[in-house]
C-alpha cells in the first residue's frame, strides 16, 4: 500500500507539473522593474521538473520589486494525497523562518526599553545565573569527558539575539554538549516557554558566551525573556505589536479551524522527517509557542512581513521599527573584532555575517564565482524549505514556501541563482 500510494502521488504530481504554469513565459514586468521576462520563465521550468520527478509536492514563489509583484507562481499541489491545489490561502509550516518574526518583535521591545542588549538573561530567568559551560576533555585512551566550568561572564540578551549564547540544539553535530541536549528529553510532555527555559538552564552551554555562533534554542530563551518583560505570552505580544497591525491573520502557532486544517501544505509521504528535534503537530494545541520554529503562515502574510523588512521597518504608512532600530538589527554583530568564532556549523554561510536575528551579507565570500546577490542582503530559511531573501540595493525580495526538508538546500540555491540571472543588467 505504501508503494502504491507513493507511485500514485508521483503520477499525480507529474500530471500537475506537465500543465503550463499560470502565465509562464508571458510575465508583464511592471514599469521600472529590472527583470527579464524570458529568464523569469526558467524558474517555472525548474519547479515543474521538481514536481514532475516526484522530488517535491509543490511550491510557491513570489518575487517583488519596488513594492510590486514581478513573479508569482504556484507549482504542484499542497498535498499529494488530497491533490488539493496550492492557493494564496495554503498554510505552510515556517520552522526557523519563525525566528525572523521573533527577532523583529524583540527589537520592538528593545526600542521601548522593556529589554536591553546588555541585560543578563538571569534578570528575567533567575536560573540562568547558575548555568555552566561544557568543556570537552580528551583522555590518553581517546575517550572524551565533559567538564563543567563557570562562564567567563553572564549570558546576555545580545548573546541570545546573535546565537552566541552557547545554547544549542541536540539534533545536529556530535559534541558532548549536543549529546547532553539529545539525552535530556527536553521536549517531553506539555510545557510552556517558562518550563522550557528551566530545562535549558539545567544543561551546559556549548561554549563561553559571546565566543561562537552556535545555532540552537537561543530564540526560545529570548522569547521567554520577552514574556517576562512584557507580562504577556509570546503570541499575545506578537499579535499586539506586529501580526494584527500588519494584517497577518493567518500567521500563528496553531491551526484549529477545521477549514484551515485542510489548507495545510504537506511534504511528500517519504520526506516527512524534518530532523529537527521534537516537532509538534500545529493542529494540536500545546502550551509551547516555539519562537525558534513553531509558526505557520501563508504567502500573503509572509510577503507583507518581508516587504516591511525591505522597507526598513515600515509598511503601508505604519512604522514598526524606527530607522535606527532597524539599522542596529541588520548590522553585522559578529564580524572582525567581535571575538565571535565560526565553525563548520555556521549556517549563515560564506560571505554572511549575522545581525540581531537575520543573516546579513558583508562580502562576496570565498567561492569562485561568488554566489549571486548584493552586499547588505538579508535572509533566513527553515527546515521545511521556506526561504526569503531581501536585497535592499535592488529594492527587491523573494519568498519561497514549500514543505520539502530533504531537497530544500539544493532548491534554495537554484532559485536564488535563477532570480539573479533574471535581473536585467
- What's residue 8's pLDDT? 43
pLDDT for the residue 30: 76
Q: What is the 3-state secondary structure (H, E, C) of 13-30?
A: HHHHHHCCCCCCCCCCCC
Q: Which residues contact 184 (CB under 8 A, 6 or more apart)?
A: 170, 199, 202, 203
In order along its 425 residues, the chain shows pLDDT tens digits of 344 444 444 444 444 443 334 434 446 677 777 899 999 999 999 999 999 999 999 999 999 999 999 999 999 999 999 999 999 999 999 999 999 999 999 999 999 999 999 999 999 999 999 999 999 998 888 889 999 999 999 999 999 999 999 999 998 889 999 999 999 999 999 999 999 999 999 999 999 999 999 999 999 999 999 999 999 999 999 999 999 999 999 999 999 999 999 999 999 988 776 665 556 789 999 999 999 999 999 999 999 999 999 999 999 999 999 999 999 999 999 999 999 999 999 999 999 999 999 999 999 999 898 999 999 999 999 999 999 999 999 999 999 999 998 999 999 999 999 999 999 75
What is the predicted pLDDT for the residue at 281?
Answer: 86
Question: Residue 4 has what pLDDT?
Answer: 40
The 10s digit of each residue's pLDDT in 66-86 is: 999 999 999 999 999 999 999
* DSSP H/E element including 149: strand 144-149
- Per-domain residue ranges for the chain? 35-51+76-96+247-422, 103-230
Q: What is the pTM of this model?
A: 0.92
Q: How much is the pLDDT for 344?
A: 93
**pLDDT value, residue 270:** 85
State residue 274's pLDDT score: 64
* Interior angle at CA 209, CA 208 and CA 212, nearest 5: 75
CATH value of 35-51+76-96+247-422 in 3.40.190.10, 1.10.10.10, 3.40.50.300, 3.40.710.10: 3.40.710.10
| DSSP reduced 3-state for 9 | helix
Question: Can 35-51+76-96+247-422 and 103-230 be said to share one CATH topology?
Answer: yes
Predicted pLDDT at 14: 43
**Cβ atoms 389, 377 nearer than 8 A:** yes
Instruction: Provide the β-strand partners of residue 359.
Output: 354, 379
- Residue 27 phi/psi, 5-degree rounding, is -70, 135
Which architecture does CATH list for 103-230?
3-Layer(aba) Sandwich (3.40)
Amino acid at each position: 500500500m505504501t508503494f502504491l500510494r507513493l507511485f500514485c502521488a508521483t503520477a499525480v504530481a507529474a500530471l500537475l507539473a506537465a500543465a503550463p504554469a499560470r502565465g509562464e513565459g508571458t510575465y508583464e514586468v511592471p514599469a521600472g522593474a529590472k527583470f527579464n521576462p524570458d529568464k523569469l520563465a526558467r524558474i517555472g521550468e525548474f519547479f515543474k521538473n521538481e514536481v514532475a520527478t516526484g522530488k517535491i509536492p509543490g511550491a510557491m514563489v513570489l518575487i517583488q520589486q519596488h513594492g510590486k509583484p514581478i513573479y508569482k507562481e504556484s507549482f504542484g499541489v499542497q498535498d499529494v494525497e488530497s491533490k488539493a491545489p496550492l492557493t494564496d490561502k495554503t498554510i505552510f509550516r515556517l520552522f526557523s523562518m519563525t525566528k525572523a518574526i521573533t527577532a523583529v518583535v524583540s527589537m520592538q521591545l528593545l526600542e521601548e526599553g522593556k529589554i536591553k542588549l546588555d541585560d543578563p538573561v538571569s534578570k528575567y530567568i533567575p536560573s540562568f545565573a547558575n548555568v555552566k559551560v561544557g568543556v570537552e576533555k580528551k583522555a590518553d585512551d581517546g575517550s572524551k569527558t565533559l567538564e563543567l566550568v563557570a562562564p567567563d561572564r553572564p549570558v546576555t540578551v545580545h548573546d541570545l539575539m546573535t546565537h552566541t549564547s552557547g545554547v544549542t540544539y541536540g539534533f545536529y553535530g556530535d559534541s558532548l554538549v549536543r549529546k547532553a541536549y539529545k539525552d535530556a528529553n527536553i521536549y517531553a510532555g506539555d510545557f510552556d516557554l517558562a518550563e522550557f527555559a528551566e530545562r535549558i538552564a539545567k544543561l551546559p552551554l556549548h561554549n563561553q558566551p559571546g565566543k561562537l555562533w552556535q545555532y540552537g534554542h537561543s530564540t526560545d530563551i529570548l522569547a521567554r525573556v520577552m514574556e517576562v518583560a512584557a507580562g504577556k505570552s509570546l503570541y499575545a505580544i506578537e499579535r499586539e505589536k506586529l501580526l494584527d497591525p500588519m494584517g497577518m491573520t493567518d500567521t500563528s502557532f496553531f491551526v484549529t479551524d477545521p477549514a484551515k486544517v485542510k489548507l495545510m501544505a504537506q511534504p511528500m509521504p517519504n520526506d516527512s522527517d524534518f530532523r529537527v528535534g521534537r516537532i509538534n503537530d500545529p493542529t494540536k494545541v500545546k502550551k509551547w509557542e516555539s519562537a525558534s520554529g513553531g509558526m505557520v503562515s501563508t504567502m500573503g502574510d509572509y510577503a507583507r512581513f518581508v516587504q516591511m523588512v525591505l522597507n526598513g521597518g515600515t509598511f503601508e504608512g505604519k512604522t514598526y521599527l524606527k530607522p535606527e532600530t532597524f539599522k542596529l538589527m541588520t548590522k553585522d554583530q559578529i564580524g572582525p573584532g567581535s571575538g565571535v568564532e565560526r565553525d563548520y556549523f555556521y549556517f549563515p554561510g560564506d560571505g554572511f555575517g549575522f545581525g540581531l536575528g537575520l543573516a546579513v551579507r558583508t562580502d562576496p565570500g570565498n567561492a569562485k564565482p561568488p554566489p549571486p546577490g548584493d552586499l547588505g542582503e538579508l535572509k533566513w530559511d527553515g527546515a521545511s524549505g521556506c526561504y526569503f531573501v531581501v536585497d535592499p540595493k535592488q529594492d527587491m525580495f523573494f519568498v519561497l514556501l514549500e514543505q520539502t526538508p530533504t531537497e530544500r538546500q539544493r532548491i534554495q540555491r537554484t532559485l536564488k541563482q535563477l532570480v539573479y540571472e533574471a535581473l536585467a543588467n
